[in-house]
């Protein structure tokens, strides 16, 4: 089986960020499940903070360049995408959205997505369902049923809860990783014909097709 | 090879003085710039078409008709004429009239226009942009070639026994370019008809336009108009020059930083790296323009954008002096030296198209006689 290219995009801003931490855990779970299924995953992580200036400039100029262009191309060419955002003002961060605004509408069609979000409070966990999932639905990507939200308390609430929150997060990560791996293993992406390579013949355009 | 200038016709404040020219001043300036283009030995002036402020050229053939009377040699063209929102019948009439007034020195570049609100002002819908461009041009193409047209389509009322007047000068339709920045369908359209293809490459990186032009060339050959390297390609480019390149950068930077099309994004240096924008000495402009040939193959028309971003008229006229005296003569020589035999050195002009039409007619007559 050929290599499965997994790209993990994380929009965390601090170093280390909990979004990066969650992204790495999700990538680990996905890799493990893909290997078990006989696959050979290769994960590349894109930290959006590294592209913060480029994303702003690409918005004004209309096109991404340099390392940012390579990151956008990697996402467009991925066999599976892991996407993790911190929750800002009750939604995904602006940087996260702006990056995906640079991805062409067709480029993620049919691509399996494992979505994650982090926040200080568990009260925003539905961000994954009311913001992140609809955005990928618009892009016609296939989001794994389990999306993983990690609040501060999930990273380990100390001895107080006997490690239950931490274990529950680990379970969610493993389940999400497994679902994502099943989608990625479901076969190679069907890609649309490249209109620059295979244009619609003009006779068909003339007939209004 | 043809060299010229194209203008968007924007009314932009001069950021160094804060002053915004009046519409009257901008229109007069555009005409002065076009006349100067002929004086310094350039070949083409093309104006944009816009129907919203801050742009003035809503009525291109009026402007070009004026210039037809004021110039002798200059080819008068557009960048672009909206094939989506203009009635193709009116385009057929306007440009045939212009052709007569200009003695054949007129051609046009068709484009779709990407400003959504403009479409409904003319009774159209931007979501139908490509189908409008396809249907309207198919009609325009017939109106210039058939004396009496019966026609029915999706987007305008049917025509019965209609004759567009005046008929094209000498029966030769104006040469058409199809301009596009992103649509493979438009490259395909240009290739199908054997028309010219203009890639307005000024605001995007070259990799994208290489794909678009490559598609046009490949399909031009596929439709039997000639070899891929004989297809008629035009390119844009925006330049600002001073003899000393540092002076050019220093003078242009406030215009770049404040221009609606550039400001707030990448720096002047980054934008220059990624797009054809060249701010520097005439030698740098020569070097950069010759690189276009490396990227896109031998091409037939180069249009420079030099009057944007609020630059004052005096500065623009100085740019034209530099283009005419130092840049274009070298480019003509260098492009000619590099162009292989069999690759056209420009789009076909009126006389050439007239001869081709006569040969075609003779060919048809001979075939008809043989058939008897």
∠ at Cα B197 (B191, B212), nearest 5°?
80
Q: Is A202 helix (H, G, I), strand (E, B) or coil?
A: helix
- pLDDT, position A132: 98
Find the length of chain A.
209
Q: Is A202 near chain B, with CB under 8 Å?
A: yes
Contact B185 A63 (CB under 8 A): no
Beta strands in A75-179 (DSSP E): 80-88, 91-92, 112-119, 142-143, 148-151
- pLDDT, position A11: 98
Q: Is B149 helix (H, G, I), strand (E, B) or coil?
A: strand
- pLDDT, position B202: 86
Contact B266 A208 (CB under 8 A): no
Query: Using CA atoms, how far apart are residues A33 and A26, in angstroms rounded to an integer?
Result: 11
Q: For residue B189, which residues of chain A lie inside 8 Å, CB to CB?
A: 202, 205
Contact B138 A206 (CB under 8 A): yes
Give me chain A's average pLDDT, please.
93
Compare CB distances from B134 to A60, A201, A205 and report the shortest one's residue: A205
Residue B6 backbone phi and psi in degrees, to 5: -130, 145
Confidence of residue B279 (pLDDT cuts 50, 70, 90): very high
- pLDDT, position B368: 77
From A57, which residue of chain B is nearest by alpha-carbon distance?
B265
Q: Is A105 near chain B, with CB under 8 Å?
A: no
Confidence of residue B288 (pLDDT cuts 50, 70, 90): very high
| CATH architecture, range A4-206 | 3-Layer(aba) Sandwich (3.40)
Is residue B87 a contact partner of residue B187, using CB atoms and an 8 Å limit?
no
What burial letters (b/e) apply to B242-265, b meaning 16+ CB within 10 Å? beebeebbebbbebbebbebbeeb
Confidence of residue A23 (pLDDT cuts 50, 70, 90): very high
Average pLDDT on B134-162 reads: 98
Residues 295 through 334 of chain B touching chain A, CB cutoff 8 Å: none
Closest CA to B255 of B242, B80, B243: B242
CA B105 to chain A, closest CA, distance in angstroms equals 29
Closest CA to A37 of A160, A176, A180, A144: A180
Q: Is A59 near chain B, with CB under 8 Å?
A: yes
Q: What sign has the CA pseudo-torsion B354, B358, B363, B368?
A: positive
Give Cβ neighbours of residue B94 (< 8 Å, ≥ 6 apart). Answer: B61
Q: For residue B135, which residues of chain A lie inside 8 Å, CB to CB?
A: 208
Give residue limits of the domains in chain B. Answer: 2-371
Contact B130 A202 (CB under 8 A): no
Q: Is A205 near chain B, with CB under 8 Å?
A: yes
Best interface-test mutation with A: which of B131, B188, B221 has the largest number of A CBs within 10 A? B188
Q: Is B241 helix (H, G, I), strand (E, B) or coil?
A: strand
Q: What interface predicted TM-score (ipTM) does this complex get?
A: 0.86
Average pLDDT on A82-96 reads: 97
Q: For residue B127, which residues of chain A lie inside 8 Å, CB to CB?
A: none
Confidence of residue B366 (pLDDT cuts 50, 70, 90): confident
Q: Identify the CATH assignment for B2-371 out of 3.40.50.720, 3.40.50.300, 3.20.20.30, 3.30.1490.190.
A: 3.20.20.30
Q: For residue A206, which residues of chain B lie inside 8 Å, CB to CB?
A: 134, 138
∠ at Cα A65 (A60, A66), nearest 5°?
145
Contact B274 A61 (CB under 8 A): yes
Confidence of residue B46 (pLDDT cuts 50, 70, 90): very high
Is residue A72 a contact partner of residue A46, using CB atoms and an 8 Å limit?
no
Q: What is the pLDDT of residues A155-190, one digit of tens each?
A: 876 666 777 888 899 999 999 999 999 999 987 667
CA A52 to chain B, closest CA, distance in angstroms equals 13
Q: For residue B271, which residues of chain A lie inside 8 Å, CB to CB?
A: 61
Q: For residue B215, which residues of chain A lie inside 8 Å, CB to CB?
A: 196-197, 199
Q: What is the pLDDT of residues B219-263, one digit of tens each?
A: 999 999 999 999 999 999 999 999 999 999 999 999 999 988 888
Q: Tokens 């050229």 belong to which residue?
A: B57
Given a cut of 80, whether residue A2 has pLDDT beyond it is: no
Give residue limits of the domains in chain A. Answer: 4-206
Confidence of residue A7 (pLDDT cuts 50, 70, 90): very high
Contact A208 B131 (CB under 8 A): yes
- Cα R_g (chain A), whole angstroms: 18
Q: For residue A199, which residues of chain B lie inside 8 Å, CB to CB?
A: 184-185, 187-188, 215, 219
User: pLDDT exceeding 90 applies to what percent of chain A?
Assistant: 79
Contact B135 A61 (CB under 8 A): no
Average pLDDT on B301-330 reads: 97
User: pLDDT exceeding 90 applies to what percent of chain B?
Assistant: 90
DSSP string of B200-236? --TTS-HHHHHHHHHHHHHHHHHTTSS-GGGS-EEE-
Torsion over CA of B25, B198, B210 and B343, rounded to 10 degrees?
-130
Give Cβ neighbours of residue B36 (< 8 Å, ≥ 6 apart). Answer: B317, B320
CA atoms within 13 A on the CB side of B93: 8
Q: For residue A63, which residues of chain B lie inside 8 Å, CB to CB?
A: 204-205, 208, 274
Query: Using CA atoms, how far apart are residues B102 and B174, in angstroms rounded to an integer?
Result: 11
Angle of helix A164-185 versus helix A18-36 axis, rounded to 10: 50
CA A69 to chain B, closest CA, distance in angstroms equals 11
Compare CB distances from B271 to A61, A195, A199 and report the shortest one's residue: A61
Query: Using CA atoms, how far apart are residues B131 and B84, in angstroms rounded to an integer?
Result: 9
Q: What is the pLDDT of residues A102-129, one digit of tens each?
A: 998 889 999 999 999 999 999 999 999 9
Average pLDDT on B298-317 reads: 97
Beta strands in A13-172 (DSSP E): 41-47, 80-88, 91-92, 112-119, 142-143, 148-151
Best interface-test mutation with B: which of A55, A63, A72 has the largest number of B CBs within 10 A? A63
Confidence of residue B204 (pLDDT cuts 50, 70, 90): confident
Q: For residue A58, which residues of chain B lie inside 8 Å, CB to CB?
A: 265
Is residue A190 a contact partner of residue A10, using CB atoms and an 8 Å limit?
no
Q: For residue B219, which residues of chain A lie inside 8 Å, CB to CB?
A: 199
């Amino acid at each position: 089986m050929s290599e499965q290219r997994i790209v993990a995009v994380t929009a965390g801003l601090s170093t280390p960020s909990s979004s990066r931490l969650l992204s790495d855990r999700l990538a680990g779970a996905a890799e493990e499940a893909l290997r078990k299924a006989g696959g050979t995953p290769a994960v590349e992580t894109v930290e959006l903070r590294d592209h913060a200036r480029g994303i702003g400039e690409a918005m004004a100029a209309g096109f991404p360049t340099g390392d940012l262009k390579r990151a956008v191309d990697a996402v467009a060419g991925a066999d599976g995408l892991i996407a993790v955002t911190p929750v800002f003002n009750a939604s995904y961060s602006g940087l996260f959205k702006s990056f995906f605004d640079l991805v062409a509408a067709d480029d993620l069609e049919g691509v399996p997505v494992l979505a994650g979000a982090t926040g200080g409070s568990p009260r925003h966990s539905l961000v994954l369902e009311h913001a992140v999932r609809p955005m990928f639905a618009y892009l016609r990507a296939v989001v794994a049923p389990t999306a993983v939200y990690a609040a501060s308390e999930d990273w380990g609430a100390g001895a107080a809860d006997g490690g239950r929150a931490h274990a529950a997060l680990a379970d969610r990560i493993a389940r999400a990783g497994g679902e994502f791996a099943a989608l990625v293993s479901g076969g190679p992406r069907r890609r649309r014909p490249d209109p620059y390579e295979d244009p619609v013949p003009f006779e068909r355009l003339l007939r209004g097709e | 090879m043809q060299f010229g200038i194209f203008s968007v016709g924007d009314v932009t404040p001069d950021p160094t003085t804060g002053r915004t020219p009046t519409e009257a001043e901008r229109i007069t300036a555009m005409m002065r710039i076009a006349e100067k283009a002929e004086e310094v030995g350039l070949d083409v002036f093309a104006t944009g078409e816009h129907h919203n402020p801050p742009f003035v050229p809503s009525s291109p053939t009026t402007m070009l008709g004026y210039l037809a009377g004021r110039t002798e040699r200059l080819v008068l063209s557009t960048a672009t004429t909206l094939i989506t929102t203009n009635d193709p019948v009116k385009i057929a009439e306007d440009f045939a009239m212009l052709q007569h007034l200009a003695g054949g020195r007129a051609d046009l570049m068709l484009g779709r226009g990407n400003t959504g609100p403009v479409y409904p002002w003319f009774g159209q819908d931007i979501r139908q942009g490509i189908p409008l461009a396809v249907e309207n041009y198919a009609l325009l193409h017939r109106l210039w070639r058939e004396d009496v047209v019966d026609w029915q389509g999706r987007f305008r009322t049917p025509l019965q026994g209609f004759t567009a007047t005046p008929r094209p000068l000498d029966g030769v339709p104006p040469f058409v370019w199809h301009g596009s920045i992103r649509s493979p369908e438009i490259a395909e359209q240009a290739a199908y008809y054997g028309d010219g293809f203009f890639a307005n490459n000024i605001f995007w990186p070259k990799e994208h336009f290489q794909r678009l032009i490559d598609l046009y060339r490949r399909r031009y050959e596929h439709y039997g108009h000639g070899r891929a390297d004989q297809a008629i390609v035009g390119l844009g480019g925006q330049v600002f020059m001073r003899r000393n390149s540092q002076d050019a950068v220093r003078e242009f930077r406030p215009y770049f930083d404040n221009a609606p099309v550039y400001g707030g994004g990448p720096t002047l240096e980054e934008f220059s790296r990624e797009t054809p924008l060249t701010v520097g000495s005439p030698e740098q402009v020569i070097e950069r323009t010759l690189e276009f040939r490396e990227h896109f193959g031998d091409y037939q028309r180069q249009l420079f954008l030099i009057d944007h971003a609020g630059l004052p008229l005096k500065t623009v006229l100085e740019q034209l002096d530099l283009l005419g005296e130092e840049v274009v003569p070298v480019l003509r020589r260098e492009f000619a030296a590099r162009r292989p035999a069999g690759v056209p050195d420009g789009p076909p002009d009126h006389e050439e198209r007239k001869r081709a039409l006569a040969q075609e007619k003779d060919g048809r007559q001979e075939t008809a006689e043989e058939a008897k």
